[in-house]
Structure 1
Amino acid sequence: MLGSDGLLDVLLSGGRRDDRLTHVRHLPAREGVRADWPSWADPDLVAGYRALGVERPWRHQVEAADAAWSGRHTVLATSTGSGKSLAFWLPSLTAVRTDRAAGLLDPGRIETVARRGSVLYLCPTKALAHDQLGGLDRLVTAARTRDIRVAACDGDTGFDERRWVQEHADVVLTNPDFLHFALLPNHRRWSRLLGSLRYVVVDECHAFRGVFGAHVAAILRRLRRLAVHYAPTPAGRRTDGPVLAGPGGPVFLLASATTADPAASAARLLGVGPDSIATVTEDTSPAGRKTFVLWQPPELPGASGPWADLVPEEDPWATPLPHPEPVDPVITREPDRDASDGGAAVAGAAATETRTGTGSHPGGVGIQLSGGVTDPAADPRSLVAVSPVAGLPTQDADPGGAAALAPHEGSGPRGTGENVVTDPSDRPRRSVTAETADLLADLTAAGARTLAFTRSRRAAESVATVTRNHLSQIDERLARTVAAYRGGYLPEERRALEGAIRDGRLRALATTNALELGVDITGLDAVLIAGWPGTRVSLWQQAGRAGRAGADGLVALIAREDPLDTFLVHHPEAVFDTPVEATVFDPANPYVLAPHLCAAAAELPLREDELALFGPDTRALLDVLVERGALRRRAAGWFWTHAEAAARLTDLRGTGGDPVRVVEAGTGRMLGTVDAAAADATVHPGAVYVHQGATFVVSELHLADAVALVEQRDVDYGTWSRWATSTEIRAVQRERRWGPVTWGFGAVDVTSQVLSYQRKRIPDLQVLGTELLELPARTLQTTATWWTAPAEVLEAAGVTVELAPGALHAAEHASIGLLPLLATCDRWDLGGVSTALHADTGMATVFVHDAYPGGAGFAERGYALGETWLRATRDAVASCRCTRGCPACVQSPKCGNANNPLEKAAAVRLLDAVLAHAVPG
């Protein structure tokens, strides 16, 4: 098989693509360091691992397993493919077998048998849980330990199978969603498992970030509470072996990618002190030599190519608000979390625009966080409407802290310095999907096993289709070894694809980040990353798929035609020499915690002595919930008294409702699902839906039933929806003035409605027709903070009418990038709008809003720290050494408008002019 140098030669195609290679970094191989098996490890399990080829474990595996066996919560943060699974399965399965052996030795004591140890495994995705299930089955078979009963249980599990798991399983693999919606609310049915928990494994815990991370933190606290409730009495506990579930609850083992400060993140997730976390970060597994290349597709002015060249990069399934090219008037918008693109630039008299693309805004019912309660008995959701009050969780701001994090000062206040690499707009480059398809076809033809990571579901289908077309010209059998993998596929289809790439029947997958997490796919030779994935943690997780198990590997980061990607492939230090990000989330966020307190009270009435588990300010939040009628206070504690299930008050992943099922009308065959937020724009009547290269046309969309009916047809066109969005201030809850500048915080409506769609011929994208649609408007009710810049402030800053959109856009991007330093959130938890003339304020305005229904408290934090936040934003932009703007200051990884227009120097002048009027306090 070709080594990494040989694979690079394949990419370079005998020198014909040398001009596309911008940088090569060779990451040296690393020798592995072995250790002896722990003396406490179950001999049969050790024999099983040896039968699977693990003669001796790596040192970091033993260190983590020893810490867990001693009863300490443990986080293991090492690279992809470093064997984290062994580190948590060895102590947990040994505990299960130890308890089983004790029961057999003393069969007359029924309480001993009832308290046999159990293990709960949590991970972000169903696919990863089922992958771990397969690995465990292989281990227990090799170890001949069929007395360990292992099962996966999630939303796809039938009632009969679920009952078996409740009554018999020793190891249960699931996800936070099932824990929140099914297991914890029905805890009495799961009392056997909860009362015998020895270990809780939290895999890929770096994925629990932002608001989702705050939700998972609350769920784990609820789990700890119920585990203590069902634990045996201290008098009945064993004293030998691992720590049992008891007053302190089970031992947690957390596995993470390499992140900044994993101990602090793990402690925040569990609600314990960092000192109680044992941390293992030194990776002692072997690593092959890895060749990492940065790649820029060629300029192709006027060229034509396969239809993938012309497919937009927006993700029709995952992007709530994709945006078109700038029009006049202009509003700049940074979209909601999870969007792969971000701000259409618009400036004008009203915050309403028509957009072209294939996405829609999140809809669905969220927790209403502001406004009155009209009929609490009719809708308990409205009861969980919490507004911050005195004593609720806040963070003490360090006025100089954020500014101190800015890059080194440039040569002047305008940030002059090193030129940023950009491309003139009239010299287009080949699309990243077409370039990736070419490279994937060449690698597959050369015999390599490859994953190509794309930023969207549509791109994954496109890359797979075009790659197969290329390979079919060589060998039809070779073309059949390439497939797409993305969210929305049926579970059995996903597992079949995972098995096929694992055993070699498939040689290449074009995938979204669905395969970024720890699904065990070994023996891969190369990874192509089509566009910057958004964070360095994701970049290295994806890159870690290449050359696993100590083999050499090749990784290529292929730039999109976007200034952010262009900057990165020409500045390798920003990719290779910058630390990975920390996992950021706030478990004390009252907007997230409030519905979980209701869920906890519904599970068991909350007692005074339990409140510390949820944070120091829980009592104040409970008082708000009682005042609003969500909970009732009695002498015994706080009670949930409503008929509706409290767990339904919140949407963990903010998907806006149940997914829409895509069903073939003639056969009833279910093809997959589409997120509710994207259904209007992607599976409307007449839309073209692509599934593994086959095209279907939607005949009917039934939103009430969450079903889209499709018919398979070979068509030579695609569909692009058109919609209008508007942003409206619903209520100003707080306001302050800095002279002519006004700061506001309140409730806003971001409304989106799909109006029509165009049919465009493939590949030339000639418009074949436009059809009107009658679909309901979707409104995201959230909270935002905003500041205005009246004409005199713009004039004082020297910001002309022509410069205003770019200056405001740059200020918006930079402020969104800086707010996570102060609000304990993730950039993807925020959205933004900037406009040179907003209808509600009557002047130039920059909005930053929470990207969740009802808000999440982040924008409110920005309002409270307005001067600190804006000054940090100004300093970060001005001190950046680039000239025109770069990812370190004003470019955004989410900007679907290609980070245009951006006026860095004008933004600094504008921020200076606004801050000149700042009023302390």
Structure 2
Amino acid sequence: MPDYDSLLPLLGRGNAPEEVRHVRELPAREAVTAPWPDLVHPDVVTAYARLGVHEPYRHQARAIEATRGGHVVVATGTASGKSMAYQAPALSAIHAGRLLAESSPGVLQHTEEATALYLAPTKALAADQLASVEALAGGLRVRAHSYDGDTPLEQRRWIRDHADLVLCNPDMLHAGVLPNHPQWSRFLRRLRYVVVDEAHVYRGVFGSHVANVLRRLRRVTALYGSEPVFIGASATSAAPQESFARLLGVADAEVEAVTGDDSPHGPVTVVLWEPEQSGAEGENGAPTRRSVLAESADMLTDLVLKQVRTLAFVGSRRGAETVAQIAHSQLDEVEPGLAHRVAAYRAGFLPEERRELEQQLRDGRLLGLASTSALELGIDVAGLDAVLVAGWPGTRASFFQQIGRAGRAGQQALAAFIAREDPLDTYLVNHHEAIFDVNVEATIFDPSNPYVLAPHLCAAAAEQPLRPADLELFGLAAPGILDSLVRAGQLRRRPSGWFWTRAEAPAAMVSIRAEGGGPLQIVETDSGQILGSIGTGQAHQQTHPGAVYVHQGRSYLVDELDLEHHVVSVSRAHPDFYTMAREVTSVNVLEEQRRESWGRVTVHAGQVQVTSLVVSYQRKALPGHEIIGEEPLDLPPTDLFTKAVWFTVPAPVLAAAGIEEPDLPGTLHAAEHAMIGLLPLLATCDRWDVGGLSTALHADTELPTIFVHDGHPGGAGFAERGYDLAATWLAATRAAIVSCECEHGCPSCVQSPKCGKRNNPLDKAGAVAFLGALLDQAPESSLREGAV
């Protein structure tokens, strides 16, 4: 049994805190090395030796060797050296080709030279990889450069004409490279490798977009006569071979997965932490748990005071700012000299802000950083001693990726998962086996989503007219979608194929990360300075008029939300409150596509129309969270056409469970909230990626009904995953409610932070009885399959 006495006090509660629900020791791992594959050029071997790497780990050697035979995905843990699996073969090919070209100038054809494309989901990761490559390739004939939205225009032509290794992101590939592929012809003809880093991030709608971008890339490279090998790097995930093959649009057999991890890692003590009740009452008089943000800020403060280098992962931009703000204020009172060594990091910062924070974290000037998942990915930060995970990050893969940031230098490290007031968090801190003793989730995305595929077919047709032979690349749904695009006048059909005939560039008309025309710029009214950006889908909720917006610890009030011009105007302010929007929703069934009968209960899946309207916002006090006012809003409704799973239950089943008609609205409402909270246990999503509706009598079903729907146009696969594992989902939901110690329902079980009805009515006991009645009807085979 490891000695926790030296670690737990670091969290600021002594040796045996009441908040600890479980402690798990992840043991240290010894390294296993192997000889360099002969595919790696001797000069590259020498370059690694200069950095102190004399032999690869065994899994790295396996991955490098596998690139001879085709596409490869390396799915191993954080800090396992996945970058070598793609750097070594790519740098070897580029360096060897450049040496040959220099030895016989004007004689060799382009086939003897090589280029490589590196794709990262964030600019920060691409910048980090560029620094890594530059450190490695000092003596090699390699010209590596970043190409993203921050790249100065004057450098872009040089990169197109001369770079061998281009570090990019899917957004720039989609909107900058592929539409202009004739200008990239030199690079594309020589393209030998395409690296897809952090491939597990490409899930949901974003993953569906990226899958189609990669199909377009494969089509364009074929136009120039190249067939690059794709190398994926991923956190440990379920079925990495199948997931990566689906991302690329190739058969499973064309991808080899390397999953064994032979890298060393220091021991990590993982603490599952459930904050105690705060003594305050929340909505409807329910007791509240101490805020995860306050708890995390206290821990961050205590760790920084003890000179423990700490990274705190927080689920939202506002949350990251709040944790850093509180810790900074507390340090300023206790030890002012340390306050400046704590900061926040999130998306939406200007590029120079991000780069400076990353460098300060690397060199130790920062002791504590509160970050969104933007720093979860493979940015190389050695020497971190502790990681705080403030609220479940959505998937086990993300959780282990985050806690793996600590201990990378081989030292003993500490990680703490701090539960939010959320049904899933409550379930996980009380069911540690659901974190540590089951497989990680499958990566879910749907490249055939018509809302995603349609604009990419337009973009592909603009890049090169689509031929009938191209359709296999884009899947079975492509012909029908092409017909609809022709009818809508987006494409023109000719005997030889489909042509884009409009003046606009179709790739520029769609953002692969947001719906509705791309992000909104957040501008300070007085100075005109751009502070950052926000996705269109978040704007109604977070930047409505009167909302409080926080940037780098500074608070602003939203003056105007201009949806037409994609601008949010804000003014500097010092409010002693925060804001929370209220949204009302209706759901209409458009098409039932699947159904399964459980006795008299029926589970459905299909297409729905969700109409949402943000009607008001509350101002809540800081601290204390008391409601100090509510203001109406006049915003336009939004329609979402997506996919849903829904459950219909006839009255006799409810009566047999002891649920009377007056209790039905609260019963269904409580069950719906908890079901939404627990769906991320089974699907790679966050509760904010899905929505729901419950009603005692729905107009389309004419029965008591609970809907859970995807929060993205066309669907993202989350609701369908819920349909496939419905019995397992409901069983976990019921267990989460039962394990919560509250009497009538609280945010840890059946209350929702985004409820448009202000969490009223809710019936916790009724929800337990309702879910039990559904499970009594479920087939035993469904309960056995996919047990959590």
TM-score by length of 2: 0.87
Structure 2: runs of 5 or more not aligned: 741-747, 780-788
Equivalents in 2 of 1:219, 1:669: separation in Å? Answer: 33
Give yes or no for contact 1:685–1:701 (8 Å, CA) kept in 2: yes
Greater relative contact order (CA < 8 Å, ≥ 6 in sequence): 1
Confirm whether residue 151 of structure 1 aligns to residue 109 of structure 2.
no
Equivalents in 2 of 1:785, 1:853: separation in Å? Answer: 15
Give yes or no for contact 1:584–1:826 (8 Å, CA) kept in 2: no
Equivalents in 1 of 2:76, 2:18: separation in Å? Answer: 35
Equivalents in 2 of 1:821, 1:621: separation in Å? Answer: 33
User: Aligned in 2, Cα 1:900/1:852: closer, same or farther, shift over 3 Å?
Assistant: farther
1:127 corresponds to which residue? 124
1:745, distance to aligned residue in structure 2 (A): 5.4
Name which of 209, 219, 236 aligns with 1:258.
236
Structure 1: runs of 5 or more not aligned: 232-244, 304-309, 311-324, 327-424, 863-867, 916-921
Confirm whether residue 538 of structure 1 aligns to residue 391 of structure 2.
no
Q: Which moved more, 1:431-440 or 1:195-204?
A: 431-440
2:213 corresponds to which residue? 219
Confirm whether residue 561 of structure 1 aligns to residue 421 of structure 2.
yes
Deviations 1:436-457 (A, max 9, x none): 1111111111111000111222
Deviations 1:415-443 (A, max 9, x none): xxxxxxxxxx8553321111111111111
Secondary structure, aligned partner of 1:253:
strand
Give yes or no for contact 2:428–2:434 (8 Å, CA) kept in 1: yes
Q: Which moved more, 1:150-159 or 1:88-97?
A: 150-159
Name which of 176, 190, 194 aligns with 2:184.
190
Confirm whether residue 203 of structure 1 aligns to residue 67 of structure 2.
no
Count of aligned positions: 762
AA of the residue aligned to 1:109: V
Question: Map of 1:643-658 to 2, 5 A cutoff?
Answer: 643-648=503-508, 650-658=510-518
User: Aligned in 2, Cα 1:124/1:267: closer, same or farther, shift over 3 Å?
Assistant: same
1:295 corresponds to which residue? 273
Deviations 1:519-543 (A, max 9, x none): 1111100001111222111110111
AA of the residue aligned to 1:102: L
Give yes or no for contact 2:208–2:445 (8 Å, CA) kept in 1: yes
Question: Map of 1:392-431 to 2, 5 A cutoff?
Answer: 427-431=287-291
1:661 corresponds to which residue? 521
User: Aligned in 2, Cα 1:811/1:469: closer, same or farther, shift over 3 Å?
Assistant: closer
User: Aligned in 2, Cα 1:426/1:746: closer, same or farther, shift over 3 Å?
Assistant: closer
AA of the residue aligned to 1:669: Q
Secondary structure, aligned partner of 2:277:
coil
User: Aligned in 2, Cα 1:445/1:721: closer, same or farther, shift over 3 Å?
Assistant: closer
Equivalents in 1 of 2:737, 2:562: separation in Å? Answer: 48
2:134 corresponds to which residue? 137
Confirm whether residue 172 of structure 1 aligns to residue 166 of structure 2.
yes
User: Aligned in 2, Cα 1:884/1:768: closer, same or farther, shift over 3 Å?
Assistant: closer
1:9 corresponds to which residue? 9
Equivalents in 1 of 2:235, 2:626: separation in Å? Answer: 45
Equivalents in 1 of 2:685, 2:339: separation in Å? Answer: 44
Secondary structure, aligned partner of 2:215:
helix
Name which of 748, 768, 778 aligns with 1:904.
768
Question: Map of 1:184-583 to 2, 5 A cutoff?
Answer: 184-231=178-225, 245=226, 249-302=227-280, 325=283, 427-583=287-443
Confirm whether residue 852 of structure 1 aligns to residue 712 of structure 2.
yes
1:779, distance to aligned residue in structure 2 (A): 3.5
Equivalents in 1 of 2:76, 2:776: separation in Å? Answer: 43
Give yes or no for contact 1:96–1:116 (8 Å, CA) kept in 2: yes
AA of the residue aligned to 1:552: Q
Equivalents in 1 of 2:685, 2:291: separation in Å? Answer: 32
Give yes or no for contact 2:601–2:774 (8 Å, CA) kept in 1: no
1:64, distance to aligned residue in structure 2 (A): 1.0
1:368 corresponds to which residue? none
AA of the residue aligned to 1:191: S
Give yes or no for contact 1:812–1:834 (8 Å, CA) kept in 2: yes
1:517, distance to aligned residue in structure 2 (A): 1.0
User: Aligned in 2, Cα 1:648/1:727: closer, same or farther, shift over 3 Å?
Assistant: farther
2:744 corresponds to which residue? none
1:848, distance to aligned residue in structure 2 (A): 3.5
1:496, distance to aligned residue in structure 2 (A): 0.9
1:105 corresponds to which residue? 103
Secondary structure, aligned partner of 1:258:
coil
1:211, distance to aligned residue in structure 2 (A): 2.6
AA of the residue aligned to 2:101: G
Equivalents in 2 of 1:26, 1:602: separation in Å? Answer: 54
User: Aligned in 2, Cα 1:521/1:426: closer, same or farther, shift over 3 Å?
Assistant: same
Equivalents in 1 of 2:677, 2:275: separation in Å? Answer: 28
1:89 corresponds to which residue? 87
2:692 corresponds to which residue? 832
Deviations 1:588-620 (A, max 9, x none): 444533332232222112223333222356445
Secondary structure, aligned partner of 1:19:
coil
AA of the residue aligned to 1:752: L
- Percent of aligned pairs sharing the same letter: 50
Secondary structure, aligned partner of 1:473:
helix
1:130, distance to aligned residue in structure 2 (A): 1.2
Name which of 710, 713, 726 aligns with 1:873.
726
AA of the residue aligned to 2:27: P
1:612 corresponds to which residue? 472
Equivalents in 2 of 1:157, 1:845: separation in Å? Answer: 51
2:456 corresponds to which residue? 596
AA of the residue aligned to 2:113: R
1:260, distance to aligned residue in structure 2 (A): 1.4
AA of the residue aligned to 1:61: Q
Equivalents in 1 of 2:591, 2:53: separation in Å? Answer: 62
Name which of 710, 725, 732 aligns with 2:584.
725
Secondary structure, aligned partner of 2:361:
helix
Question: Map of 1:876-895 to 2, 5 A cutoff?
Answer: 877=730, 882=735, 885=738
Give yes or no for contact 1:657–1:677 (8 Å, CA) kept in 2: no
Equivalents in 1 of 2:734, 2:612: separation in Å? Answer: 38
1:256, distance to aligned residue in structure 2 (A): 0.4
Give yes or no for contact 1:133–1:152 (8 Å, CA) kept in 2: yes
2:25 corresponds to which residue? 26
Equivalents in 2 of 1:253, 1:560: separation in Å? Answer: 37
Equivalents in 1 of 2:316, 2:687: separation in Å? Answer: 19
Equivalents in 2 of 1:227, 1:182: separation in Å? Answer: 15
AA of the residue aligned to 1:459: G
1:642, distance to aligned residue in structure 2 (A): 3.1
Give yes or no for contact 1:884–1:905 (8 Å, CA) kept in 2: no
Secondary structure, aligned partner of 2:91:
helix
1:62, distance to aligned residue in structure 2 (A): 1.6
Give yes or no for contact 1:532–1:557 (8 Å, CA) kept in 2: yes
1:701, distance to aligned residue in structure 2 (A): 3.9
1:699, distance to aligned residue in structure 2 (A): 3.8
Deviations 1:62-108 (A, max 9, x none): 2111222x242111111111111122111101101111111122213
1:408 corresponds to which residue? none
1:547, distance to aligned residue in structure 2 (A): 0.6
1:55 corresponds to which residue? 54
Deviations 1:178-208 (A, max 9, x none): 1112211221121122111000000000111
Give yes or no for contact 1:794–1:910 (8 Å, CA) kept in 2: no
2:75 corresponds to which residue? 77
User: Aligned in 2, Cα 1:291/1:732: closer, same or farther, shift over 3 Å?
Assistant: closer
1:751 corresponds to which residue? 612
1:281, distance to aligned residue in structure 2 (A): 1.1
AA of the residue aligned to 2:660: T
Equivalents in 2 of 1:567, 1:857: separation in Å? Answer: 23
Equivalents in 1 of 2:13, 2:684: separation in Å? Answer: 46
1:764, distance to aligned residue in structure 2 (A): 4.2
1:223, distance to aligned residue in structure 2 (A): 0.5
1:650, distance to aligned residue in structure 2 (A): 4.5
Secondary structure, aligned partner of 1:6:
coil
Secondary structure, aligned partner of 2:18:
helix
AA of the residue aligned to 2:183: R
Secondary structure, aligned partner of 1:301:
strand
1:43 corresponds to which residue? 42
Deviations 1:782-828 (A, max 9, x none): 45565654656644654313542455357657987999999999987
Equivalents in 1 of 2:627, 2:238: separation in Å? Answer: 49
User: Aligned in 2, Cα 1:179/1:910: closer, same or farther, shift over 3 Å?
Assistant: same
User: Aligned in 2, Cα 1:62/1:746: closer, same or farther, shift over 3 Å?
Assistant: closer
User: Aligned in 2, Cα 1:489/1:892: closer, same or farther, shift over 3 Å?
Assistant: farther
